[in-house]
Structure 1
Amino acid sequence: MSFGIVLLVALTVTAIALLLRSVDRFPAGPPQHPAAPSAGQVLAERFARGEIDEEEYERRLTALRAHGPGQGRPGPGDG
């Protein structure tokens, strides 16, 4: 009888340990997605790959800095 109780306690402890290990493997909440690269990063990557030359890179970088992040160019109706 005492062997049965020891075995039951051992199985319970093992089950709890395995449950805790499996819970730690999965993050809580929705999956995290990497942040999108900034416009400056995309521009630098295009320059590094040779898609644009240095003159084009400098011109676009100057335009990005002049307009600030997320502002873009004014549209046709903007004053």
Structure 2
Amino acid sequence: MYNRFAYMGPNMNPNTNPNTSPIIAPNMFLTWLIPLVILIVIGISIYMINKNNKGNIENKENKESAIDILEKRYANGEIDEKEYLKKKKLLKNK
């Protein structure tokens, strides 16, 4: 038969759970807080990566080629025909 007066731990109360104590209880708060913080950090990281990638895509679409810039400079009179043809030849060879 079970002896209910056997050793029950430091508090000697048979109605309490010996696995819980006031010292361990605050750690239960951290068991859900740490994963929550990790999920928030991951979410913010994904948001920032997507935000930066959208900016890069827009910049690539608006970027002018070197030949377009050269043609504009020639049209504005910044360079003469000889220099324009020389630079155009160099750009075509690349």
Query: Per chain length, whose mean CA-contact separation is higher, i.e. which structure has more relative contact order (CA < 8 Å, sep 6+)?
Result: 1
- How does the TM-score come out when normalised to structure 2? 0.38
- How does the TM-score come out when normalised to structure 1? 0.43
Tell which structure's C-alpha radius of gyration is larger.
2
